[in-house]
Amino acid sequence: MLQNKGFRFFSITTVCIWLGVFALLPNMALFLVSFLDRTDTSFFIPVLTLDNYLRLFAPAFIRILLKSLALACVSTLTCLILGYPFAYLLARSNRRVRPWLFLLVIIPFWTNSLVRTYAIFTILQNNGVLNTLFNRLGLVEGNFSLMYTNFSVFMGLTYTLLPFMILPLYASIEKLNLRLLEAAKDLGAGPVRSFLHVTLPLTLPGIAAGSILVFLPSLSLFYVPEILGGINYRLLGSFIQYNFSKGANWPVGAAASTVLTLLLLLMAVFYRLAGRNEREGGAAALSAPGGQTAPARVERG
Amino acid sequence: MGLERLNPAGTAPGEKQVESRGGPILEMRGVSKNYGSTIALHDVNLHVANGEFLTLLGPSGCGKTTILRLFSGFETPTRGELLLNGQVINDIVPEKRKLNTVFQNYALFPHMTVRENVAFGLRMQKRPKDEINRRVREALHMVHLENLADRRPAQLSGGQQQRVAIARAVINNPLVLLLDEPFSALDFKLRKQMQFEIKHLQRQLGITFVFVTHDQEEAFAMSDRVVVMNEGYIEQIGTPKEIYEEPESLFVARFVGEINILEGVILEVQENNSYLAEVEGVVFPLRTRREFARGEKVRVLLRPEDIKIYHAHEVSAPSRFLQGRINESVYKGATVDVSITLDNGTKIQSAEFFNEDDADISYNAGERVSVSWVAGWEVVLDHAAE
């Protein structure tokens, strides 16, 4: 018992210190820096200012923010549309096939993501795989390149983040009780309506989790837009990265980073609200003793 | 294999009487179902009369749930035809069949309220809103759940969830209601109460019920007819009384209660279905509808409550009784259960009811007794029958 207590104290303290030093402290520092001024010679000086946030209202940054949000939305939606059927297949496939399908999702994880991003580069570039293929098929004459466009960045984000959509979706579809789908059929719902009325609402937590896991990184991944979008292509993530490196404007980078964190918090709240429907039932039944005695009375009566 | 097995539907004596209420609403013609190399159903023929309460009874894996799932359309038969109201429904998808199911463990939609669960079928039929509201109210009233309409299934007790499942199914006015072991998750007392309520509901609605259970008591308490199944075959179809009192096979006899099985040989064929036979070494008169020849080996089946026990001093001609010793006598309240070992080693189980006229039904272990049975209540089966 005592030993157990000691272990608990030790492990929880370690985690707390770890998170404090490597997550909380840097974030606090970042938050602080976002309110500080800078000079040409030092990254920041201890002068409080709101200038950094005001600079984020500049049309240039607004454009970057909107473009980032739009690309993140499109990537998330594409991942959802591609990922849902695959996750469904994965969850419903028989035991022999399932590990192989899983492997298809997991292999990319074992490959360095920079390497994978360069792979897309070789596919989309001038005289690349796609170009050659289209030429061979006679669809297109001559050379073309899809690189350094919104499309190439979108491809990179979607490809990189697809597994993060598939795995939570798989988890929630796999949990779905098949009897419920039979019940829907039994009550006259065809395939489309039993999907809309039963499968979709019951896998909503998976959809929400997957969407967040794709949406946030697609805002903040900086190497994908840099490699596939080109040196001057800016998304929120690469904007932050630029300000901390070449741009050498820490306070503005910190302010943009804080905006990103706020977006994350907003989505976390949204996720909790979406998941509430599921939990409400069980929680209310547990917390309301009246809810338990009333039924008993009905049964006796 | 008994003759009855080959023609199971035709020989049930109760069928005529029940079918006079109307033609078969559900029918299986020569239906087989294989899962890979395992055969779940062997060439089953079954008629379900309109308005009856039919129970499929058997141990797990006997094929009773398969029959239900074939009717509801979640399984397709390997061979044979399924008919609903005279029409072949083999190729009709589940959502288009005028049948509804009460699932084992209910399968209520957890993200919907009780009201939304019950309204689901009508919404799928795209009924007008006020008709849905009215019918949902009526259905909830019928199962006494009006004041829980806005709860989620997780906030209800097992019995209440059961009622929601029933309301959700019957609101669609199905031609037949299929119930798949609906009480298996309920405790004993609630189960008894739900049995009563379901039976009452069935009479009130006049809908045909096909009920699946492995509990013979439940089957007897609720059904007009019982179909006893074993390993994909129908063993016997009949009223609960017929199944209990005139089992057509050893399996049925054993499955629907305790039974004593005695070995015998026909000595003499008499008139009016009467025989003289040597049973466990003693000569007894037997009566049976079945035909036997002289010298044929038979089995005599006796329910414990049909056994009569006499103290040694009550019997004047002991040679006309089976002789044995009391093993044990257990007081059960309404009955005294007595186990006896006959002198040739055969064990007999008896259940004696308390009777004003015969107060002396207490026996001491080891006491010598004479045993016979209520004449004419024996069931005589071919020795070869399983």
Digit-coded pLDDT (tens) for A111-128: 888 888 888 888 888 888
Which residues of chain A make contact with B135, given a CB cutoff of 8 A?
none
Ranges of beta strands (E only) in A156-230 are none
Residue B4 pLDDT grade (very low, low, confident, very high; cuts 50, 70, 90): very low
Work out the percent of chain B whose per-residue pLDDT is above 70. Answer: 92
Q: Indicate yes or no: CB of A298 within 8 angstroms of CB of B160.
A: yes
Q: How many CB atoms lie within 10 A of CB B135?
A: 18
Give the phi and the psi of residue B248 in degrees, each rounded to 5.
Answer: -95, -5
Residues in chain B: 386
CATH second-level architecture of A48-275? Orthogonal Bundle (1.10)
User: Helix (H, G, I), strand (E, B), or coil: what is residue B92?
Assistant: coil
What is the predicted pLDDT for the residue at A191?
94
3-state helix, strand, coil in chain B (%, to 5): 30, 35, 35
In a mutagenesis test of the B interface, which of A177, A185, A186, A193 is the best target, namely the one with the most B β-carbons within 10 Å?
A: A186
Instruction: Calculate ∠ Cα B289-B291-B296, nearest 5°.
Output: 130
Of the candidates A180, A185, A295, the beta carbon closest to that of B156 is on A295
Distance of CA B162 to the CA centre of its chain: 21
Name the residue ranges covered by the structural domains of chain A: 48-275
Spatial distance between the Cα atoms of A5 and A11, rounded to a whole number of angstroms: 10
On whether any CB of chain B is under 8 Å from the CB of A185, the answer is yes
Contact yes or no for A219/A235 (Cβ under 8 A): yes
pLDDT at B22 over 70: no
Mean per-residue pLDDT over chain B, rounded: 89
Report the 10 Å Cβ neighbour count for A69: 16
Hey, are the CB atoms on A281 and B155 less than 8 Å from each other? yes
Residues B171-228: pLDDT tens digits?
999 999 999 999 888 888 888 988 998 999 999 989 999 999 999 999 999 999 999 9
Instruction: Determine the number of helices (DSSP H) and then strands (DSSP E) in chain A.
Output: 16, 2
Q: Please indicate whether, in this complex, the C-beta atoms of B155 and A291 are within 8 angstroms of each other.
A: yes
Q: Which residues contact A112 (CB under 8 A, 6 or more apart)?
A: none
Q: What pLDDT does B383 receive?
A: 84
B105: contact with A, CB 8 A cutoff = yes
pTM of the prediction? Answer: 0.80
Q: What is the ipTM of this complex?
A: 0.82
Residue B25 confidence (pLDDT) above 80: yes
Q: Across the interface, do A188 and B156 touch by the CB < 8 Å criterion?
A: no
Residue numbers in chain A where pLDDT is lower than 50:
280-301
Inter-chain residue contact A291 with B105, CB threshold 8 Å: no
Question: Domain residue spans in chain B?
Answer: 3-98+174-255, 260-382
Mutation target vs A (from B76, B157, B194; most A CBs, 10 A cutoff): B157
B188 CB within 8 Å of a chain A CB: no
Average pLDDT estimate for B87-104: 94
Note the pLDDT of residue A288: 36
Alpha carbon distance B340, B117 (integer Å): 56
Q: Report CB contact under 8 Å: B154, A281.
A: yes
Bigger pLDDT: B117 vs B11:
B117
pLDDT digits (tens, 9 = 90+) for B6-17: 333 433 443 334
Please list every residue in chain B whose beta carbon sits closer than 8 Å to the beta carbon of residue A296.
Answer: 157
How deeply is B195 buried, as exposed, middle or buried, from its count of CB atoms within 10 A (0-12, 13-18, 19+)?
buried
Residue B107 to residue A185, Cβ atoms within 8 A: no
Contacts of B147 in chain A (CB under 8 A): 294
The CATH number of the domain covering residues in B3-98+174-255: 3.40.50.300
Distance CA B273, CA B254 (A): 25
Nearest by Cα to B158 from B192, B195, B118, B185: B185
Assigned CATH class of B260-382: mainly beta
pLDDT in tens, A236-265: 888 898 888 887 788 999 999 999 889 888
